Chain A
Amino acid sequence: MANLNGRARQENTYDAIVVGSGITGGWAAKELTQKGLKTLVLERGPMVRHLEDYPTATMDPWQTKYPQGQLPSDELNAKYPVQKRTGYTLTEYTRHFFVRDDQNPYTEESRYDWIRGYHVGGRSLTWGRQSYRHSPIDFEANAREGIGVDWPIRYEELAPWYDHVERFIGVSGQAEGLPHLPDGQYQPPMEMNCVEKAFKAKSEARFPERRITMGRTAHLTDPTEEQLALGRTKCQYRNMCIRGCPFGGYYSSNSGGLVAAERTGNLVIRPGSIVTSLIYDEKAGKATGVRILDATTRQEEEFYADVVFLCASAFNSAWIMMNSTSSRFPNGFGNGSDQLGRNVMDHHLGVGASGEAPEFADMYYSGRRPNGIYVPRFRNLGDAATKRSDYLRGFGYQGGASRPGWDRDLTRPGQDPSGPRGFGAARKAALSQPGPWIIGLGGFGEILPYEDNRITLNRDKTDEFGLPTLSMNVTIRENELAMRRDMQTAAAEMLEAAGFKNVEGRDGGYAPGLGIHEMGTARMGRDPKTSVLNAHNQVHECKNVYVTDGAAMTSASCVNPSLTYMALTARAADHAVQARKRGDL
């Protein structure tokens, strides 16, 4: 269907279109509808309604079809050869929240683990929920070090929007007063267990600059009136978040942003709508809407609006722009800089250390805390004491202490045997008790923006809808490798300093994508010649299109990015509403 006329066109016209319904799409929808804009949210996958569509949320262990809910290896290999690479995300409990790789192909020029879910709410249902602010040094680093381009904003410009987002989503955490990990609006922190408390006391005594704090996580510990009114309640410590939370204990689009948006009466969500391109009006010099492919009918349709927000995730927003060519934009929408699809970043992880804490054998815990401890970055903070000569930027650690359960001596490939395992009553009794305390730290490191770490549009390989696919070419370099060596050494040092036993550093390897934090494919910057987006997330070359997901990131920091995506989205939505009022779009 090409251009619609008259009434049909009017019916498909909104004030704003939001592409994607995940962590940023939900925020764009909430902010735009609350500010009075009739908003259409287009989601390529099926509807997932809060509470109603969490089919596994209250399943007990004995209700699974498969042992421990693990999918059969033949099925994993056939349908989920990429999604299974995390080792933990894809189970009988969660498979409906992840894509089937056999139906969503892409090309790995180098290995890229693209972990994703296509449904209303996107990865906001399955995210890790850790919520940290970028710091002033994160926004300044590119300019100071001559890496990539300068962020067009500074921390102070985003700070009020971090406040705004944290108040709405609810973040539990401990204020620490650190300039390199700014405090926010926190609900009471979760509790450390005995071993973590001992670790904090002893490691901080030896390494005072390596602060150990409770993870800051988007879970309610003391919900506000606003959160309760949305139907959310406090975290029940089930730790089954990835299945969807029947208590609304953690933030998702489904339990938060989309609910608030729906209540304004200004929201329309259209699932099953694959946005294939932006519609560009050459004469007006702006976008007039988007084209979609209906996933069910396979019919093309057009929707129109004054303003379009791309919130489809870093790679898919870039894909839509690359696929939106016109005589004005022959190389992709708003791609005069040739930066579209470049500068792919993630967080590199899988390296750290672990140890044992036998002296706490008579202590245990109750409840399943969906959170761990956090060690904010302590390298390259701008002073001589923390300066590293072997790499730029830094890393944080996430970790925690726990006692393994009954499944601790199941055969695992590569596990070293210590003799016969035995069987019978003695083994049964032993496995009915908790295993020895284990404490671990795992690093999350910053990856620099490299121009040649890029995704490109592959028109030769199409998906089941006949749409072009992506090719990935992303690797980590010497800076990241040098950082990983330090990540392993420093983690072991801290555990040793705390007196833990059998401390072992380990690098389990990392492939780009495994952080599930892809970003950078349409970076913000000051100059249209070297960046795709301006300081308000507007496409430099087409001001009524905003891109506010991970694509916008100019540098990665080492902290989990979703909080920053949400703050950028809320800020951009406010800008769009004001600009539209002024007639500037």
Chain B
Amino acid sequence: MLSRRDAIRGLTFTFGVAATGFAGRAMAAAPALGWTPTALTPDQARLVDVVAELIIPKTDTPGAREAGVPQFVDRALADYYNKAQADRLRAGLARMDADARAAHGDVFVALTPEQQIELLNGYDREAAAAQGHTAGEPHFFPLLEDLVTVGYFTSEPGATVALSYDPVPGAYHGCVPLAELGRGWATR
């Protein structure tokens, strides 16, 4: 289970980003892509890059960006999603920019981290409220968050640094203090 100490450390880090002056209404807030998207447009890819890092930020372990999650999302759109899923995700990305413009006059990646987080919190609440209702399309935010989460924890940094990965355990020990292991296992 998440300890209080970890939770607090996580929170501090999230809000610490803004406090260190990283914020600003500049495209420079999103680093240039070091890769060429195939299914996403360059603008969509920059947006996915920023949102993925907000969903799984760098802490004492690598974040989504370092783990190659934006590329993973691009590949999923190209090879894995069917048209309905891909349309839903692309519509979600378009909506994020539209909402950013309406609220703050610029695209999502140009907003301050606080503004970005506020928008994502809105989507998260909206998605929770919509779940369980059968009518209507599933909300795009859990779709995106799931994809980012899967991309991260199945990446090499996610599986081996944020989690523990042992390809050949060799033995099973059924009762080990969690404190000795520290983290969850990457695979079951």
The chain A residues found within 8 Å of chain B, CB to CB, are: 58, 60-62, 64-68, 70, 72-74, 190-194, 196-197, 236-239, 361-369, 402-403, 405-407, 410-411, 415-417, 419-436
Q: B9, B11, B76, B173: which has the most chain A beta carbons within 10 Å?
A: B173
Return B117 CB to nearest CB of chain A, in Å: 7
Q: Given A367-B171, A432-B184, are A410 and B59 also a contact pair (CB < 8 Å)?
A: no
Which of A61, A191, A361 lies in contact with B1, CB distance below 8 A? A361
Q: A366-B173, A410-B150, A431-B184 are in contact. List 12 more A-B contacts (CB 8 A).
A: A73-B82, A74-B82, A238-B169, A364-B177, A364-B181, A419-B128, A423-B54, A424-B10, A425-B59, A426-B10, A426-B14, A431-B153
Most-contacted residue by chain A among B56, B80, B138 (CB, 10 A): B80
21 chain-A/chain-B pairs, Cβ below 8 angstroms: A66-B76, A66-B79, A191-B172, A197-B174, A197-B175, A237-B172, A366-B169, A368-B187, A369-B172, A411-B146, A416-B132, A417-B131, A420-B125, A421-B124, A423-B124, A424-B54, A425-B10, A428-B56, A428-B61, A432-B184, A436-B1
Residues on B with C-beta less than 8 A from A72 are 79-82
Tell me the smallest distance from the CB of A124 to a CB of chain B, in Å: 23
How far, in whole Å, are A87 and B150 apart by their CA atoms in the complex? Answer: 18
Cβ contacts under 8 Å, B57 to chain A = 424-425, 428
Chain A residues with CB below 8 A from B145, complex form: 421, 423
Whether B171 pairs with A237 at a CB distance below 8 angstroms is yes
- Assess the A367–B172 pair: CB atoms within 8 A: yes
Query: Is there an interface contact between A61 and B2, defined as CB atoms closer than 8 Å?
Result: no
**Which of B1, B75, B81, B167 interacts with A238 by CB under 8 Å?**
B167
Q: Is the CB of B142 within 8 A of A421?
A: yes
Q: A-B contact count, CB below 8 Å?
A: 201
Whether A433 contacts B1 by the Cβ 8 Å rule is yes
The interface centre, meaning the residue of A415, A421, A429, A435 with most chain B CB atoms within 10 A of its CB, is A429
Q: Which residues of A contact B138 (CB under 8 A)?
A: 411
Provided the pairs A68-B154, A406-B184, A424-B10 are in contact, do residues A367 and B124 lie with their beta carbons within 8 angstroms?
A: no
Task: Please state if B124 and A420 are interface contacts (CB–CB under 8 Å).
Answer: yes
**Chain A contacts for B56, CB-based, 8 A:** 423, 428
0/1 interface trace, chain B 84-96, chain A, CB 8 Å (1 if under)? 0000000000000
Is the pair B173, A191 in contact by a Cβ cutoff of 8 Å? yes
Find out whether the CB atom of B82 lies under 8 angstroms from the CB atom of A67. no
In the complex, chain B residues whose CB is within 8 Å of the CB of A236: 168-170
B153, A368: Cβ atoms under 8 Å? Answer: no
User: Contact between A67 and B171 (Cβ–Cβ < 8 Å)?
Assistant: no
Residues of B within 8 A of A429 (CB): 2, 6-7, 9-10, 59
Contacts of A420 in B (CB 8 A): 121, 124-125, 127-128
**CB–CB A406/B168 < 8 A:** no
Interface centre among B127, B154, B174, by most chain A C-beta atoms within 10 angstroms, is B174
Whether A60 pairs with B153 at a CB distance below 8 angstroms is no
Residues of B within 8 A of A366 (CB): 166, 169, 171-173, 176, 181, 185
Size class of the contact patch on chain B: 35 or more
Contacts of B9 in A (CB 8 A): 425, 429
Which of B29-37, B41-49, B104-112, B156-164 makes up part of the contact surface?
Answer: B156-164
Q: Which residue of B lies closest to A247 (CB)?
A: B168
Is B39 an interface position by the 8 A CB rule? no
Does B80 contact A423, Cβ atoms closer than 8 Å?
no
A424, B179: Cα distance in complex, Å: 24
Determine whether the beta carbon of B55 is less than 8 Å from that of A423: yes
Q: Which 10 pairs, one residue from A and one from B, show the smallest C-beta to C-beta distance?
A: A425-B10, A193-B174, A367-B172, A367-B169, A430-B2, A61-B154, A194-B175, A417-B131, A426-B10, A434-B184
From the candidates B2, B149, B169, name the one contacting A433 in the complex (CB within 8 A): B2
A433 to B61, CA, bound (A): 13
Q: Which residue of B lies closest to A364 (CB)?
A: B178
A-facing mask of B128-155, CB < 8 A → 1, else 0? 1001100000100011011101111111
Chain A residue at smallest Cβ distance from B154 = A61
* A residues in contact with B156, CB < 8 Å: 60, 62
Q: A362-B178, A369-B172, A425-B14 are in contact. Are A405 and B188 (CB under 8 A)?
A: yes
- In Å, the complex CA distance between A407 and B158 comes to 12
A197 to B183, CA, bound (A): 23
Contact check, A424 vs B80: say whether CB atoms are below 8 A apart: no
- A365 partner, pick from B10, B125, B153, B176, beta carbons under 8 A: B176
**B176–A363 CB distance below 8 A:** yes
Q: Are B172 and A365 in contact (CB under 8 A)?
A: yes
Question: Taking A64-B154, A426-B2 as contacts, is the C-beta distance between A194 and B171 under 8 angstroms?
Answer: no
Nearest Cβ on chain B to A181's Cβ, whole angstroms: 22
Of B2, B153, B174, the contact of A194 (CB 8 Å cutoff): B174
Mask of B1-42 contacts with A, CB within 8 angstroms, 1/0: 110001101110110000000000000000000000000000
Across the interface, which residues of A come within 8 angstroms of B2, CB to CB?
426, 429-430, 433
Instruction: Decide: A417 and B178 in contact? CB cutoff 8 A.
Output: no
Question: How far in angstroms is the closest Cβ of chain B from A90?
Answer: 15
Residue in A367, A411, A419, A430 whose CB lies within 8 Å of B143: A411
- In the complex, what residues of B have CB within 8 A of residue A433's CB? 1-2, 6, 178, 183-184
Q: How far is the CA of A444 from the CA of B116 in the complex (A)?
A: 51
A66 to B85, CA, bound (A): 14
The residue of chain A having its C-beta at the shortest distance from the C-beta of B151 within the complex is A67
Least Cβ–Cβ distance between A420 and chain B, in angstroms: 4
Residue in contact with A406 in the complex, picked from B6, B61, B186, CB distance below 8 Å: B186
Interface centre among A190, A192, A364, by most chain B C-beta atoms within 10 angstroms, is: A364
**Within 8 Å CB of B176, what residues of A?**
363-366
A453→B12 CA distance, assembly (Å): 64
In the assembled complex, which residues on chain B have CB atoms less than 8 Å from the CB atom of A415? 131
Instruction: Output the residue of B150, B172, B177, B179 with the most chain A CB within 10 A.
Output: B172
Partner of B184, one of A197, A405, A419: A405
Q: Which residue of B lies closest to A401 (CB)?
A: B174
Known: A60-B167, A191-B173, A368-B188. A407 touches B150 (CB 8 A): yes
CB distance from B61 to the nearest CB of A (A): 7
Answer whether residue B98 sits at the interface, using C-beta atoms and an 8 A cutoff: no
B73 to chain A, nearest CB (A): 10
Among B1, B55, B79, B166, which residue has the most Cβ atoms of chain A within 10 A? B1
B81 contacts across to A, CB distance below 8 A: 72
